[in-house]
Amino acid sequence: MSAELRSNFLRTQIEKDLAEGRVSELVTRFPPEPNGFLHIGHAKSITVNFGLAAQFGGRCHLRFDDTNPEKESQEFIDSIQEDVRWLGFEWSGEVRYASAYFDQLYEWALYLIEQGLAYVCDLSPTEARDYRGTLTEPGKNSPYRDRTKEENHSLFLRMRDGEFADGERVLRAKIDMASPNINLRDPILYRIRHASHHQTGDRWPIYPTYDYAHGQEDAIEGVTHSICTLEFEDHRPLYDWFITHLPVPHVPRQIEFARLNTSYTITSKRKLKQLVDEGIVAGWDDPRMPTIAGLRRRGYPAPAIRHFCEEVGTSRSDSVVDVAMLESAVRDQLNKTAPRAMCVMSPVKVVLSNLSNRLQLSVPNHPSDASFGQRDLSMGVELFIDRDDFREEANKHYKRLVLGKRVRLRGSVVIEAESCDKDEKGNVVTIYARCVTLEAGVDPEDGIKPKGVIHWVCAAQAVPAVVRRYDRLFRIPEPGRSENIIDEINPESLSIVEAAMIEPALRDAEPEQVFQFEREGYFVADRFDHTKEQPVFNLIIGLRDTWSDTHG
């Protein structure tokens, strides 16, 4: 059982409701609007709703609250289903849609009219705002509030028949324009929208609002606990008002918890869409995006995301969680599950002057887990090391290859640098070295041990690869406070290595397969772009947190 599910106020309330017989089975729901890709905040909601249902032997529904056809699409519906499954959850029964209940919601709107609890209003949006009042001043009754039931019924039928233009009329609940809770000041139930719907086509020229539809959908589905985030707390009285005044078959209960906010991250769909539309990122699934699809393409493991969501806990207080906590969960997970491999990012050639025969090596795939097995490597006279791993001269703190000094090649022999060639610009192009030992893992007979260990790739077998090095998309901890989020972008959030050199076996990596590139970090074969002909790897995360070192 996870830490979160062992102790939180939601679990305590559910246990109480079950013990007192208020409900016989827990039924929760995850109700996204299909108007964008899910993000890390949704991952928290998914973990809570599906996790509680699993813990208590209940059910969790996946329901699309598709009441706004102008912003919704099948692409978003498909991506959301894939995200939920990828995170490790499965919903109860078929996928559900608010649009499947449009007939019932319409009948209940007619019921409210007949009860004198709803009316057709002709105020323009600007006039409606003026009549609504403010947080400190009550609203004023619409001049159309006292229409007869017969007139409201007739006008609503005509709205349904498509007689009026978009925005010309709305159906409103008749509650209390003087209520201190603005959500109860005669909220809108239906708007006129001559828009084709991805599920119902052109059947409806009117669409229910989210506030009106949501609670009734819960009631129809038998949801016992409508668990949502704190921004809906002020909407709960309206949620309960509809449930009380309509002949619903079931009474659900809304409970709010604090949404997940992480530093260096935005979760506003509007602003995320701006990044996509303006080409700041390569799409909703760009590995720098906080979307679940982006995190997946970046290589973040689903178990690490679930663990992070559980570790931050569930509370009633909004706060911002340091994104380093998520990164730490990813790093911990990958350290246990990622096999090791070698990749040279900035290759420079090394020629071994005294190596006459190719060495055949057997190298462990994981330094502390023998179950990962061994891999065979071949080392010839020429190999590649990283340019940063060689200096002509250096102080004693430099633990890599220096002229006249020794290093061990990972999983192989000890070498000593003797000389180097440079180009006309003074750049080292070839390093000449000799093998001090000719057997892997053996120390030099003269007792002079190597200064450090560096990684390498056999030049004759090395495979060129593209490596995308990702960093945080934003350079400030709380992005999105200003309207121009483009100014907050980290200009170094993506750098591309066009000609890295990898072990030959990495050519056969499957898309989404993860490795630790020795001394470099954790990398994933890109979900879409990686092929045997052109390997492409994405940096998931470094071996340690370097952000605070370079940006602190």
Burial class (CB in 10 A: 0-12, 13-18, 19+), 124: exposed
Same CATH topology for 3-262 and 340-461: the answer is: no
pLDDT digits (tens, 9 = 90+) for 296-307: 999 999 999 999
pLDDT-derived band at 482 (thresholds 50, 70, 90) equals confident
Query: What is the chain's mean pLDDT, rounded?
Result: 95
pLDDT-derived band at 1 (thresholds 50, 70, 90) equals very low
SS (H, E, C) 468-517: EEECCCECCCCCCCCCCHHHHECCCCEEEEEEEEECHHHHHCCCCCEEEE
User: Is 431 within 8 Å of 384 (Cβ atoms)?
Assistant: no
Q: What pLDDT does residue 5 have?
A: 45
Active site residues: 33, 259, 269
Give the orientation angle of helix 102-114 with respect to helix 210-221, to 10 degrees.
110
Fold of 340-461: Ribosomal Protein L25; Chain P (2.40.240)
Alpha carbons 265 and 259: distance in angstroms, whole number: 13
Give the orientation angle of helix 40-55 with respect to helix 9-19, to 10 degrees.
30
Residue 335 has which token pair? Answer: 């350290």
Question: Selecting from 3.40.605.10, 3.40.109.10, 3.40.50.620, 1.10.1060.10, what CATH number does the domain 3-262 have?
Answer: 3.40.50.620
pLDDT-derived band at 4 (thresholds 50, 70, 90) equals very low
At 468, the amino acid letter reads R
pTM (2 d.p.):
0.93
Q: At 9, which helix (H) or strand (E)?
A: helix 9-19
- 370: CB partners within 8 A, 6+ apart: 364
User: Is 206 within 8 Å of 191 (Cβ atoms)?
Assistant: yes
Residue 112 has which token pair? Answer: 């409210």
Alpha carbons 444 and 531: distance in angstroms, whole number: 41
Domain boundaries, the chain: 3-262, 269-337+465-551, 340-461
Q: What pLDDT does residue 550 have?
A: 59
Radius of gyration for the alpha carbons in the chain, expressed in angstroms and rounded: 31
pLDDT digits (tens, 9 = 90+) for 390-440: 999 999 899 999 999 999 999 999 999 999 999 999 999 999 999 999 999
User: Is 431 within 8 Å of 454 (Cβ atoms)?
Assistant: no
pLDDT digits (tens, 9 = 90+) for 113-166: 999 999 999 999 999 999 999 999 999 999 999 999 999 999 999 999 999 999
Question: Selecting from 1.10.3300.10, 3.40.50.1370, 2.40.240.10, 3.30.530.50, what CATH number does the domain 269-337+465-551 have?
Answer: 2.40.240.10
Which residues lie across from 89 on neighbouring strands?
none
Alpha carbons 468 and 490: distance in angstroms, whole number: 15
Q: Calculate the dihedral angle through the C-alpha atoms of 434, 439, 440, 444, rounding to the nearest 10 degrees.
A: -60
- 234: CB partners within 8 A, 6+ apart: 181, 182, 183
Q: In angstroms, what CA-CA distances link 366 with 151, 374, 394, 517?
A: 76, 8, 31, 11
User: Is 123 within 8 Å of 179 (Cβ atoms)?
Assistant: no
H helix runs in 27-101, sequence order: 40-55, 74-86
